[in-house]
């Protein structure tokens, strides 16, 4: 299987200012390595602040690595980003990132223009996606009138607009109701059937276990365990027990 994401000894530091003169270096990602094959669903798990979002930002060409290798589709994420950007997209959790003063449909027109979709395909694609994320009957309402979960659905739609080969999802189920979360899981499974690759982070371990072909668990910027879900589970009954043991909490 060809490796379409290759990460080797990847490191990212942030410089944080403390007062006027003092600076502090924070190592957010501390030399991680993993590979993702085409068509896989890959999970990135770990505690708050473990470095998951930082890793995704580097893979989506938004952030430069401090050191190490970070390749998507064989191209360097910093330096050859032009060759990658067309073929990937991302979904971030949270309520920011869309135009609140535009309708759902207008938002999607805006984002599809950023990806230079041609106009004949555009309309079809937008209708299709609105249907997919179940926003069709609210398509012409302003996003500012949406609930949190509805905005999250719009974010999901945004991330699919250019029919990407690889989709990066950072806590995509945040704010979704159970039906919405199921909808997203079905979308992810459908994407896999279409041969797409998905890299996702989530704090819902059951979701991760259900979806992921492979996963890594991060702690303080490092990978503490990687493999298929059953390997990660090891001797524990649930993934949650294994996870808590790995990140150093107490299993009661």
By CB under 8 A, which span of 1-9, 82-90, 199-207, 224-232 interacts with another protein?
82-90
Considering the complex, state which of residue 84 and residue 232 has its C-beta at the smaller distance from another protein. 84
- The angle, 0 to 180 degrees and rounded to 10, between the axes of the packed helices 104-114 and 148-160 is 30
90 binds, among another protein, Mg ion, ligand ATP, none (CB under 5 to 8 A by kind): another protein
Point out which residues pair with 216 in neighbouring strands.
Answer: 44, 226
Binding residues among 39-68 for Mg ion as defined by CB under 5 A: 53
What pairing do the DSSP bridges indicate for beta strands 75-76 and 88-92? unpaired
Which whole-number Å values give the CA distances from 94 to 97, 123, 147, 172, 202, in the listed order? 8, 26, 12, 8, 13
**Shortest approach of another protein to residue 62 CB, angstroms?**
6
CA distance 45 to 26: 20
Upper half-sphere CA count for residue 2 (Cβ side, 13 Å): 7
Exposure string for 47-63, b = 16+ CB within 10 A, e = fewer: beebbbbbbbbbbbbeb
119 binds, among another protein, ligand ATP, Mg ion, none (CB under 5 to 8 A by kind): another protein
Selected from 10, 53, 71, 200, the binder of another protein by CB under 8 A is 53
Nearer to ligand ATP, 165 or 170 (CB): 170
Residues 208 to 227: which contact ligand ATP by CB under 6 A? none
Q: Does residue 85 interact with another protein by CB under 8 A?
A: yes
All residues at 6 or more sequence positions from 181 whose CB lies less than 8 Å from its CB, including other chains: 173, 204, 207
Handedness of CA 105, 107, 112, 116 (dihedral sign): positive
Q: How many CA atoms lie within 13 A of 11 on its CB side?
A: 10
For the record, the structure tokens of 160 come out as: 């699919």
How close are the terminal C-alpha atoms of the chain, in Å?
A: 40
- β-partners of residue 76 are 71
- Give how many residues touch ligand ATP by CB under 6 A: 12
CA separation for the pair 65, 7 (Å, rounded): 11
73 binds, among Mg ion, another protein, ligand ATP, none (CB under 5 to 8 A by kind): none
Which of 3, 109, 136, 192 touches another protein (CB under 8 A)? 109
Residues that bind another protein (rule: CB under 8 A) add up to a total of 36
Q: Are 211 and 185 in contact (CB under 8 A)?
A: yes
**Stretch 35-74 residues interacting with ligand ATP (CB under 6 A):** 46, 48-54
Q: Which residues from 144-203 bind another protein, rule CB under 8 A?
A: 158
Among the residue ranges 39-47, 110-118, 130-138, 204-212, the one whose residues contact another protein (CB under 8 A)? 110-118
Instruction: Name the site residues for Mg ion (rule: CB under 5 A).
Output: 53
Q: Which residues bind ligand ATP (CB under 6 A)?
A: 14, 16, 26, 28, 46, 48-54
Q: Enumerate binding residues for another protein (CB under 8 A).
A: 12, 14-15, 53, 57, 60-64, 78, 82, 85-86, 88-90, 92, 94, 96-99, 101-102, 106, 109-111, 113-116, 118-119, 158
């Amino acid at each position: 299987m060809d490796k379409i994401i290759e990460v080797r000894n990847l490191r990212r530091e942030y410089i944080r200012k403390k007062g006027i003169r003092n600076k502090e270096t924070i190592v957010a990602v501390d030399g991680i390595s993993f590979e993702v094959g085409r068509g896989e669903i890959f999970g990135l798990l770990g505690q708050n602040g473990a470095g998951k979002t930082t890793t995704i930002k580097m893979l989506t060409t938004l952030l430069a690595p401090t050191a190490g290798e970070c390749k998507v589709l064989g191209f360097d994420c910093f330096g050859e980003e032009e060759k990658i950007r067309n073929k990937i997209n991302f979904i971030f959790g949270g309520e920011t990132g869309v135009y609140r003063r535009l309708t759902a449909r207008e938002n999607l027109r805006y984002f599809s223009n950023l990806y230079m979709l041609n106009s004949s395909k555009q309309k079809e694609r937008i209708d299709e996606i609105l249907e997919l994320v179940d926003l069709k009957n609210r398509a012409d309402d302003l996003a500012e009138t949406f609930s949190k979960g509805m905005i999250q659905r719009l974010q999901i739609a945004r991330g699919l607009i250019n029919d990407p080969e690889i989709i990066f999802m950072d806590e995509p189920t945040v704010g979704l109701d159970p039906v919405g979360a199921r909808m997203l899981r079905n979308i992810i499974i459908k994407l896999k059937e279409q041969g797409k690759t998905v890299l996702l982070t989530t704090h819902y371990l059951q979701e991760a276990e259900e979806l992921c072909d492979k996963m890594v668990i991060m702690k303080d910027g490092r990978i503490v365990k990687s493999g298929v879900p059953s390997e990660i589970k090891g001797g524990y009954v649930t993934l949650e027990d294994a996870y808590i043991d790995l990140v150093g909490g107490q299993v009661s």
